[in-house]
Structure 1
Amino acid sequence: MSTQRLRNGDYHDYSSTGASPEESPSEGRSSFSPGSYQRFGESSSTTWFQTLIHLLKGNIGTGLLGLPLAVKNAGILVSLHHGSVFSVATAVLPTCSGLLNKPYLDYGDTVMHGLESSPSAWLRNHAHWGRRTVDFFLIVTQLGFCCVYFVFLADNFKQVIEAANGTTNNCHNNETVILMPTMDSRLYMLTFLPFLVLLAFIRNLRILSIFSLLANISMLVSLVMIYQFIVQRIPDPSHLPLVAPWKTYPLFFGTAIFAFEGIGMVLPLENKMKDPRKFPLILYVGMAIVTALYISLGSLGYLQFGASIQGSITLNLPNCWLYQSVKLLYSIGIFFTYALQFYVPAEIIVPFFVSRAPEHCELVVDLFVRTALVCVTCVLAILIPRLDLVISLVGSVSSSALALIIPPLLEVTTYYTEGMSPLTIAKDALISVLGFVGFVVGTYEALYELIQPSSGPIATNSTSAFM
């Protein structure tokens, strides 16, 4: 079967759209009139609250816990400024989608139609390559997040289990703990594999919203406990540099841009809303909450732990049962978040293979491809088990393109014929250039650290208790 089946609506992912065999997606879209946001498959559409839950969950993950180390790599002044800039680019995509009057656009569709509306004939003729490029970066980014989740789960569970014999009820006196050797962290990853495969079989966003809510609750409790610890007895920060050496800045860039993990979820979430007219407000509110969390946790975490900060701030918490439970609670949240981050690449890759399978084998092929993708993320995590470098590499390679390079360029191509001020064009050009520089330098630095670790490595994969 050809891929044209996808366009003609012969292959229906009823689980995620709620469409019935009698109503194809193309039929549902043909009834759309300008200014109307009615969706086909209303039964599976998400409410504003469910959408906000998904948006928060998509952006609050392992990247948030790695931000204190990112602040160390850039310095407090630089990190405060850049963290605010990174959050602005996320709002560009829905704006461009709204201008095109096409409410069913995903990220790739938005780029393609934006290029088709460009005044440049060459860009119009090659608009389909814009979609393919975005789909490639989306797949790399989202699967990269899933790789990081494997490493995070393994690191935190390994630390909790190895320090179990020395864990006490006293959270004030941090003492060296003799660890009980257990299996390698990569074996922990293999232990999580079958459970994450089962989680990846869930294909309905409404069902996933239940897991997102559970994840948000567990992670909210964990974050409250983390904040409660890092705001107490903050050491004198005068010895900490306001601006870090320039050589470590690329690692900050990769980690900071990785933290905005929900860029690939923005348009899919808008497309699933019952009333997408409310989405811009939800986006601004959600990103304001996320940015406040990023800046505060990154700065306070670095001030509290200083040069000893690890790839995830949970690995710096005291060795007592209260904070060991925090690690477990946050890990549970990350476990459920895996399915949400996995949703985007699955929506791109799975239909490609299912459209070529006999109709009676579609479900089998669907589940097989999902299983294979989860196994790929597990294998990649096993090959690169250093949490800080995995985060920085994924952020530099693909997140920078999706969050910094493409959105400003898309805004220019989409709005140029409508009239744009030179200042706006210069702003978009500057953000894209900085994103490209960060892409090149950040990727190089992360790969260099993987091949030739520095003489003073960061103990990001260490399981020793905080001293």
Structure 2
Amino acid sequence: MHEAFKYGGMVASVVGSVAVGLLLSLTMSILVRSAQKMYQVLRVSRLSYADLCEAAIATGPYKNLRRFSKTFRYMLECFIFLQITGTCSIYQIIIASTIKMVTEHVCPNFNVHLSLRTYIFIITIPLLVICLIRKWKYLAPISIVADLFLAICIITTMFYSMSEARSLKQRPPWKSVSGTFKFLGICLYSMDGFTLVLPIENNMKSPHHVRFVIHCGMAIVFLAVTLTGFFGYWGWGENCTSPITLHLPMETIPIILQFLLSAMLAATFAIQFWVPFRIVWRYIGKTHDYGFGKRNRWERFYRVLYLLFITCLSIVFPKPENLMIFLGSFFVSFNSFIFPSLIETLVVWRQYRQGQIRWAVVKDCGVCAVGLAFCIGGMYSLYI
């Protein structure tokens, strides 16, 4: 986010962060509200995001559109798969960058300066070990610890950025239109959590409280993301680079924190890895259902292949900022704005025809237009 602030300017980025946070909270609420209505229509207790998309189109008012329900499901699953695969790649690049910098400082007499791509390849081995964990319940406690360390790193970064900070007048309030769209792409990517919304709602004891959970969660995410961007850009200005921990001084406490952060990011990598792999395994696992033991071995085999694919992606695109802009501008725009607005329109369309909920359809059209604007503007900003 500190690089995002560098693209957008100080004031424009703060305003943009508020707007993105509010919009994402709105669209998450739209998705949950649509899902809860579909539970009643289908008489089921839970649906995944892809299930909801397929059901909304299959039961929608347009008969000619219903036969494309599977197509829309596959499209959504493909977008989620590619978005989180890119996220895993970014995590791998950040881990490799951090280890490279700390190792070269701690061992100056080692006299071997390996490239970032080499470090990406080296860390594939420990990542492979943790990615072979197949049960979510073993990863969830590690995620809590990872979040705590991440919070500590954010606070530490803010502390050191304040020691480098100059007058805010030296930071431009706004830069350019293309810079604004680059900021929005990174901001969307950083705040997005759509893949978690329905799984959380499906596992809550009181699902009717999920909107309160969404608003509280987004408030925490907004504060963490915005404070990191604000203080990072204020402290290091136009010299910002990713990951932000590269700006920390090579002292004992920051070095320990960076090693711990790398370990915790590896655990978070495994959690992110779990989501897209389950999408693929849902289809290819059926072809290897020849017994419990054989199925488990095939699953581990495909996990290794998928991790190697992510590693190749990281080696080919070792600069995370452009990848974040692309993922945020294209995939998050579709997954977080266009698909939810389409789903709600189809779900409430019968009520709209009765004249009961016209404003919801107008709102959905506006959300869809915002998503398309983010997508087109962000993609254009990458090519100018």
- TM-score, normalised via structure 1 length: 0.74
Which residue of structure 2 aligns with residue 113 of structure 1? 55
Structure 1 match to 2:138 = 207
CA distance in 2, matches of 1:312, 1:428: 36
Which moves more between the two structures, 224-233 or 137-146? 224-233
- The match for 2:194 among 252, 263, 280 is 263
Amino acid aligned to 2:215 = Y
The correspondence for 2:366, drawn from 430, 434, 437, is 430
Alpha-carbon separation, structure 1, partners of 2:88 and 2:207:
28
Alignment correspondent of 1:83: 17
Question: Per the alignment, do residues 275 and 209 of structure 1 end up closer, same or farther by CA in structure 2, a change over 3 Å counting?
Answer: farther
* One-letter identity of the residue aligned with 1:242: P
Given candidates 291, 294, 303, the residue that maps to 2:225 is 294
Establish whether residue 194 from structure 1 lines up as the match of residue 116 from structure 2.
Answer: no
| 2:309 maps to 1:373 | no
> How far 1:215 moved relative to its partner?
0.9
Q: Secondary structure at the match of 1:355?
A: helix
Alpha-carbon distance in structure 1 between the residues aligned to 2:5 and 2:125: 35
Partner letter of residue 362 of structure 2? A
Between stretches 138-147 and 104-113, larger displacement belongs to 104-113
- 2:287 match: secondary structure: coil
TM-superposed CA distance for 1:401, in Å, is 1.2
Q: Which has the higher helix share?
A: 2
For 1:71, the equivalent position in structure 2 comes to 5
Question: Who is 1:322 aligned against?
Answer: 253
Alignment of 1:122-137 (within 5 A): 122-137=64-79
2:102 aligned to 155, 160, 174, which one? 160
> d(CA) in 2 for partners of 1:421 and 1:75?
39
Please say if residues 400 and 438 of structure 1, whose CA atoms lie closer than 8 Å, have aligned partners that are also in contact: yes
User: How many angstroms does 1:434 deviate by?
Assistant: 2.5
**Distance change >3 Å, CA 354–CA 95, structure 1 → 2:** same
| Closer, same or farther: CA 300–355 of 1 in aligned 2, 3 Å | same
Cα offsets for 1:125-149 (capped at 9, x unmatched): 3222221111000100111110111
1: CA distance, partners of 2:157 / 2:53:
39
Distance 2:362 2:169 in 1: 37
The question of 1:148 aligning with 2:86 is answered no
Quote the offset at 1:259 in angstroms: 0.7
8 Å CA contact retained: 1:145, 1:261: no
1:236-295 deviation per Cα after TM superposition (whole angstroms, max 9, x unaligned): 111322111112233222211111342212223333445544433332221211112122
User: What's 2:319 paired with?
Assistant: 386
Tell me which of 156, 162, 171 is aligned to 1:225: 156
Q: Closer, same or farther in 2 for the Cα pair 1:324/1:349, shift >3 Å?
A: same
- Greater displacement, 409-418 / 369-378: 409-418
Change (3 A) 1:276 1:347: farther
Contact 1:240 1:306 in 2 (8 A): yes
Name the SS of the counterpart of 1:156 in structure 2: helix
CA distance in 2, matches of 1:394, 1:388: 10
Asked if 1:407 corresponds to 2:340, the answer is yes
Greater Cα offset, 122-131 or 349-358: 122-131
1:350-365 mapped onto 2 (5 Å cutoff): 350-360=281-291, 361-365=294-298
Distance 2:107 2:132 in 1: 37
- Residue 113 of structure 1 deviates from its aligned partner by 1.5
- 1:350: Cα distance to partner? 1.0
Matches of 1:423 and 1:239 in 2, distance apart?
A: 44
Give 1:205 shift.
2.3
Corresponding residue for 2:350? 417
Who is 2:375 aligned against? Answer: 439
Give the 3-state SS of the residue equivalent to 1:356 in structure 2: helix
> Are 2:94 and 2:242, in contact at CA under 8 Å, matched by a contact in 1?
no
Q: Is the 1:257–1:403 contact (alpha carbons within 8 Å) kept by the matching residues of 2?
A: no
Normalized against structure 2, the TM-score is what? 0.89
**Equivalent residue for 1:397?**
330
Question: Would the aligned equivalents of 2:76 and 2:335 in 1 still touch at CA under 8 Å?
Answer: yes
- For structure 2, which runs of at least 5 residues remain unmatched after alignment? none
What is the DSSP-based 3-state SS (H/G/I as helix, E as strand, rest coil) of the residue aligned with 2:60? coil
Instruction: Give, in angstroms, the shift of residue 329 of structure 1.
Output: 2.5
